[in-house]
Structure 1
Amino acid sequence: MSDSTNQGTLRGRGAVVTGSTSGIGLGIARRLASQGADIVINGLGDAAAIEKERAAIEADFGVRCFYSPANMLNGEEIAGMIAFAEDKIGGCDILVNNAGIQFVAPIDEFPDDKWQQIIQINLVASFHSIKAALPGMKARGMSKEQV
């Protein structure tokens, strides 16, 4: 459904959604775009498929949508993704920390490296994203809208 004159409740707001190149994260990004938010998507996947989804968000909802390949294991890249959002969509007013991974095994067989990777992506990446986004949110008077 195309709506190039979208006047949704989020018009003028910028949203960064991690882990949003497919699945639930992509659904969240599309929903925010349907309400008028400009979007930065982030995640892994085939470059052509990611570009197709990015372009579809712009075409379907009449918003700006950009892709950041930031590695959620790297705090500097996460900060760079938030800076990218500031530059491209005017800021990160909405941050959805959706990136996450899982691995299933009995605890006595669970590889230590997998455990560390899960903690890094599912927990530490969220910390770095919030830390990077909060100063801009505060500057725009948005810091009271945290969940």
Structure 2
Amino acid sequence: MKTAELAGKRALVTGSTSGIGLAVAQALARAGARVMLHGSRPAADAEALRAALAAETGTAPGYLSANLADGAAARGLVEATLEAFGGLDILVNNAGIQHVAAVDAFPDENWAQMLAINVSAVFHTTKAALPGMKAQGWGRIVNIASAHGLVASPFKAPYTATKHAVVGFSKAVALEVAEQGITCNALCPGYVRTPLVDKQVVDQAKVHNLPEERVIREVILAAQPTKRFIEADEVAAFAVFLCSEAARSVTGSAQLIDGAWTAR
């Protein structure tokens, strides 16, 4: 159901063709925002996704493709959104990658790629978005981090490092723009059933030499008090709140949505 909570706001959500990113884009559009989708889908698939969102919400979403591992392309994504929408009010840095392995067996190329997409892209898009937000005296930046931005798990040292970096970056940005009508927060989900988590299940099954159903029960959700995956629409609703006027004093924070996983 469409609301007017974010009517007139212009939003860019990176990595928004599936999983958490798509759920956030849909929720922002339902709240009235005009959304720029981002991903690497074939042209026909991207147009179908854009058209479906337009039909559901009555907004006019856009779609852009950019390789976020390249800093210039990440900045260009924001610049293209500014040109298409005439400004940018909301930036959701959602795109991220994962690879599970012991540190001494972790491929160097995966480490470099994870840093580029999970951390450097957040820097580049934020840097490109801030001048316009400062000029208009309003902005919302939501960086999708992870519960691993606050705690650690074995075989996830690089992922944990990148998400800790996103949390720290979000706090520092919030301090810089605290008097300019801009908020910046890290949203830290626990295990959400997405294509990324499905890949983790496969990787963890290899690491632990277990069937996938046992990995879900005995590894991924072993310490999860609620014993269920978090739904993407739960994360999306939280993101919409952080973009709202009601959350204007919520900034510089790492907001957990993890089913009490980190409460132990």
Q: Report the TM-score, using the length of structure 2 for normalisation.
A: 0.52
Shift of 1:84: 1.6
User: Residue 145 of structure 1 aligns with which residue?
Assistant: 183
CA distance in 2, matches of 1:103, 1:141: 39
1:26-41 equivalence runs, <5 A: 26-41=22-37
| 1:18–1:98 Cα contact (<8 Å) kept | yes
| 2:40–2:66 Cα contact (<8 Å) kept | no
User: Residue 58 of structure 1 aligns with which residue?
Assistant: 54
| 2:3–2:30 Cα contact (<8 Å) kept | no
CA distance in 2, matches of 1:103, 1:125: 18
Residue from 21, 27, 48 that aligns with 1:25:
21
Give the letter aligned to residue 61 of structure 2.
C
User: Residue 132 of structure 1 aligns with which residue?
Assistant: 128
- For the pair 1:99 / 2:84, whether they are aligned, the reply is no
* Helix, strand or coil at the partner of 1:80: helix
Q: Per-residue displacement from partner, 1:6-25 (whole Å, max 9, x unpaired)?
A: 55111111000000011110
| 1:100–1:121 Cα contact (<8 Å) kept | yes
Q: Per-residue displacement from partner, 1:24-53 (whole Å, max 9, x unpaired)?
A: 100000000000100111112333222211
Give the letter aligned to residue 145 of structure 1.
T
CA distance in 1, matches of 2:19, 2:45: 13
CA distance in 1, matches of 2:10, 2:85: 6
Pick the structure with greater CA Rg.
Answer: 2
Between the two proteins, the alignment pairs up a number of residues equal to: 143
1:78-93 equivalence runs, <5 A: 78-93=74-89
User: Residue 45 of structure 1 aligns with which residue?
Assistant: 41
Give the letter aligned to residue 107 of structure 1.
V
Q: Per-residue displacement from partner, 1:66-102 (whole Å, max 9, x unpaired)?
A: 1110110122222221122112222111000000000
CA distance in 2, matches of 1:57, 1:51: 10
* Helix, strand or coil at the partner of 1:146: strand
* Helix, strand or coil at the partner of 1:91: coil
CA distance in 2, matches of 1:144, 1:69: 26
Q: Report the TM-score, using the length of structure 1 for normalisation.
A: 0.91
CA-based RMSD of the aligned residues comes to 1.4
CA distance in 2, matches of 1:140, 1:32: 20
| 2:82–2:88 Cα contact (<8 Å) kept | yes
User: Residue 13 of structure 1 aligns with which residue?
Assistant: 9
| 1:15–1:95 Cα contact (<8 Å) kept | yes
CA distance in 2, matches of 1:92, 1:74: 21
CA distance in 2, matches of 1:128, 1:27: 23
Unpaired runs of at least 5, structure 1? none
* Helix, strand or coil at the partner of 2:183: coil
